Structure 1
């Protein structure tokens, strides 16, 4: 899937990439009312929360100060080091032929397109674009076929001098030519391409795409020519800011704001910057959201477009306003004038199972892991405290509301410990086994030796045992005060399933877990609720096979922003322990987490996120393609970091991408998803929460969910107007 907020590209920065514009297939076949089952795609679980307002209600002018993770290294979204801020700038300054509405469905962007459709299928697919006659670049030149052609040549993959990160779709184009007039562009495909709407979004001017030098270097630090409601005025790397100003050549609705300042602010500093009045908009973690929510009274709920269920107006489980602590009272004063806008990101967190080697190379063991997990419980752990719909994700390839979505998790089945244990037994993993026998022999030998040592040796053993018990009690006390002991702070590793349950037993409540989930940071993961008990039930006897115990390496990032991710890993470890699987949870640095462990296959279990694309036939294929040997003897996994793939899944993707009938293409994608579930290489868990702190006077900004932001409509309410209530803010 194209880059967004997760790990589709190698390296740690890949976890925070943004996806290019998402759209769906074409040539929809209308269904006769009453003659078919309900659409399995359903509706988005949560709508946008952007404080919508009509343009007449918004004041002219003003500067919106918007926190971002970093000033981007490049302004070219097609380069490997492009990030979320690169995409945000492109959305505000460059053409996009299609964009997503609030319900996650694609729509033609009328600012640039009068129409776009397939006009021929035989002998070859031809798409005709009719451009808005007012669409011009900021230098006055009309947007036209020359720009489309330059972008195709740069991204086709035929010229290695262009340092491109992706060329999917462009490599299927045979030629691009002018249509009947300057406003028409004819694109002829050498091979059918169902996801043609994914192309030319964004569209760069020919001055950027025309030569390798301008592509590789010219657009990294500046955009001389743009064609959006805003233009890049300045990139200040000293002050970590990007300044966007109104584009005087913009032909659409005049932007309400004079300027947008994108300022790089670390996530752990954003609450302070908001309180100091230095920001108007910032994505924040759950702890900061709770503090800010105390300052804003709950707003009434209104229907949320495209959402299947309303989002709770509860202010993030904040305490009773009549029992505020002095610190909370101070926060109410500091954050007055701000509120939290919340939705669900168009991405999901998954549990990845490395099938390349080790126990998980056996599909039966992977399926057993799947059957041991209560995905609904994990979704509630993350989303319920935030007042967001807590439903497990049922597809690898789309999210609820998107055209290709269907809950195919039935292909693997729900939680069933007996079935999990039966699968493990079938794979040869049995309780105790040779390992247990060796343990008994060792204990017997140790007992004989102790007897020979006499009374003094026995007393020494008792003293050591007493000291050990004392240490355990001390550890438990410490666990009660702080949560577990920093998850193996000494060496970064601890085992779920050892006799010492200080790292994950029934006594650890959600309040303890919440201590570990204070900050989401940039890493994908979860938030821990208060007062939620850890899963109950007895642990199963550890399993062994051929003299080796069934122990899985669970790798998690160690950064301050990843406590919540480790909380989810800990809960999963407890669930696996119930069927006899031990997990060794190891913390590694954020910098090496993805590059040195996930991408290189140095893990058994891991948590990271993927975006949900409206082009799954294109974007998801490299994630689930069957790994193949490379020329140098290594294994080419593309983006399939679980190393699990099948020929059948590959064939279904190939058929879906070459099928121009939207209904048939969706059916093929759903079949592919069922096969992916059955292979159990990865298990989707929950949609990621999206929490945005916003000044209450801002409108048409906040938690965008699926929707592409409309930058010209962003602004500040006129002083005589009150903020508009929205569905999903508490």
Structure 2
């Protein structure tokens, strides 16, 4: 599952999308200009819990309070919401620094593919696992979520079906603590249905569309993690997590985790003023400032976050024509953007040339259409968009487009480069910045843009996101906010997500990726370098790389 991020500087490390990689390392102050390949770096200041003091408050930042605390809902499909929820909600798998999956035994004693014909997956729930009201986590929670995400009832405003549209039934196993999921079609990313960025919710949230859409808008419902929400202060823009007194696993070292709403420009000064403990670094100036701040170190592991442009191809939009979108894509110098934005942050800046896989991940290859402004201009001419002065026109309509983004310096810098690129072929780009509150709900989800910039944040299950973002289905937007696709692409996605052979699935996924480029659906820009500035006393937290964090082990050294 992929979740959205409006900002380029996540301060909450998130598990990355790679499944196969090798090796890990750590360092006291990683050099942002040194090599740090995906799957080889995990820079979190690892310490045994015996070296940490009991108690303490980890202070982090958010750009806005959650629009909806249901991360499965289209308004809750946000990286920062996931970062708040991650210490509080169940997930089936954890990953190490090499992205190897292991069952999260705090919640499940076993998760296994028990049959392939038909495909069946058996979840055996830890008998100690309970929701925050003391009620047990049972097979009914799994069954209710499967039904909610099946897509059968369109009144559930889901962010992703996550393979539950392929589920025939969910049955009780040997007791209430076991669920057996039977598929009527194969699903390649079955491990990700309650893992990665997909949490297991209690049936109270998923049992009806009304509950799913509205029951946790103002605050979270039941949770089941080492931490739970203590308070939400909307006036101060603050969320505080505290230890869950019913938690059955290892006792957390921290007492609390506090999230404060800050504008992007205020996060680094807040770190310098000892108001927060970690912040993602957006550019080389941030790196230099952080490095010169006493008590702050820079940790680095290439991130699972990547910036991109999404085009709006909805009927009636100025970019409804596929050829226009493709021509504009070819006129954008993504290597130039990478050079300008990531110079000094990585050793050799490169654009991201794949919608499915990241650089360093098995399956990654360059499927892009390339940078060719001459061809772009010629293609626009052929489509009837002729230069009239500095801007092209067709049927009296100027080729003038709105680029919508969160008000962040890095996003604006990227937009300014694109603006210059497109001016060379007679396309006028207007830059529109938006505040964090309601960014997705008010702008992206309703399609209030011509092109838009945000980041996608992945998890170890990239194939599960193909339908979510690139499939086009009537009345089921999920993450395809540009409303772009085709029956051919839908069919290719279907073939890919049904393939249980990993090698064949990778081959098909790259065919999907090429088709996404050819549709002019969206344009990947850059993979995050993963630079995080953190307080030097903070342990087991920082640039997590491919690993999931253990929130019971995060703390401050004695």
Asked whether 1:63 is paired with 2:57, we answer yes
Which residue of the partner structure matches residue 82 of structure 2?
A: 87
Q: What is the aligned counterpart of 2:371 among 415, 426, 433?
A: 415
Which residue of the partner structure matches residue 346 of structure 1?
A: 304
Distance 1:368 1:218 in 2: 44
Superposition deviation, residue 93 in structure 1: 1.5
Q: What is the aligned counterpart of 2:126 among 129, 132, 136?
A: 132
Find the residue that maps to 1:92 and give its secondary structure: coil
Contact 1:119–1:128 under 8 Å retained in 2: yes
Distance 1:213 1:419 in 2: 50
Find the residue that maps to 1:711 and give its secondary structure: coil
Q: What is the aligned counterpart of 1:553 among 390, 397, 400?
A: 400
Q: What is the aligned counterpart of 1:688 among 519, 528, 532?
A: 528
Distance 2:441 2:207 in 1: 33
Find the residue that maps to 2:38 and give its secondary structure: coil
Structure 1's unaligned 5+ residue stretches are 7-12, 27-41, 296-334, 437-497, 499-541, 631-635, 719-730
Q: 1:287 to 1:396 in 2, by over 3 A?
A: closer
Task: Give the TM-score taking structure 1 as reference length.
Answer: 0.63
Asked whether 1:241 is paired with 2:235, we answer no
Q: 1:364 to 1:62 in 2, by over 3 A?
A: closer
> Which has a greater percent of strand?
2
Contact 2:282–2:410 under 8 Å retained in 1: no
Q: 1:575 to 1:209 in 2, by over 3 A?
A: closer
Which residue of the partner structure matches residue 23 of structure 2?
A: none
Find the residue that maps to 1:226 and give its secondary structure: coil
How many residues align? The count is 536
> Which has a greater percent of helix?
1
Superposition deviation, residue 378 in structure 1: 1.7
Contact 1:5–1:17 under 8 Å retained in 2: no
Asked whether 1:118 is paired with 2:113, we answer yes
- Which structure is richer in relative contact order (CA contacts within 8 A, separation 6 or more)? 2
Which residue of the partner structure matches residue 654 of structure 1?
A: 494
Q: 1:350 to 1:558 in 2, by over 3 A?
A: closer
Q: What is the aligned counterpart of 1:708 among 543, 548, 552?
A: 548
Distance 1:422 1:601 in 2: 28
Distance 1:557 1:130 in 2: 45
Structure 2's unaligned 5+ residue stretches are 21-35
Q: 1:80 to 1:19 in 2, by over 3 A?
A: farther
Which residue of the partner structure matches residue 185 of structure 1?
A: 179
Q: What is the aligned counterpart of 1:261 among 235, 258, 262?
A: 258
Asked whether 1:97 is paired with 2:56, we answer no
Distance 2:211 2:235 in 1: 24
Q: 1:384 to 1:278 in 2, by over 3 A?
A: same
Structure index of larger Rg? 1
More displaced 10-residue stretch of structure 1: 707-716 or 96-105: 96-105
Which residue of the partner structure matches residue 582 of structure 1?
A: 426
Superposition deviation, residue 678 in structure 1: 2.9
Distance 1:15 1:163 in 2: 28
Contact 2:75–2:441 under 8 Å retained in 1: no
Distance 1:365 1:188 in 2: 44
Contact 1:397–1:612 under 8 Å retained in 2: no
Distance 1:217 1:637 in 2: 19
Q: 1:109 to 1:24 in 2, by over 3 A?
A: farther
Let me know the Cα RMSD of the aligned residues: 4.1
Q: How does 1:19-418 map to 2 (within 5 A)?
A: 44=38, 47-82=41-76, 83-104=78-99, 106-122=101-117, 124-158=118-152, 164-181=158-175, 183-200=177-194, 201-210=198-207, 215=212, 218-221=215-218, 225-283=222-280, 285-286=282-283, 289-290=286-287, 292-295=289-292, 335-354=293-312, 366-387=325-346, 390-409=349-368, 412=369, 414-417=370-373
Distance 1:207 1:554 in 2: 43
Query: What's the CA shift string for 1:588-610, capped at 9, x where partnerless?
Result: 35169867876666765554433
Q: How does 1:395-474 map to 2 (within 5 A)?
A: 395-409=354-368, 412=369, 414-417=370-373, 419-420=375-376, 423=379
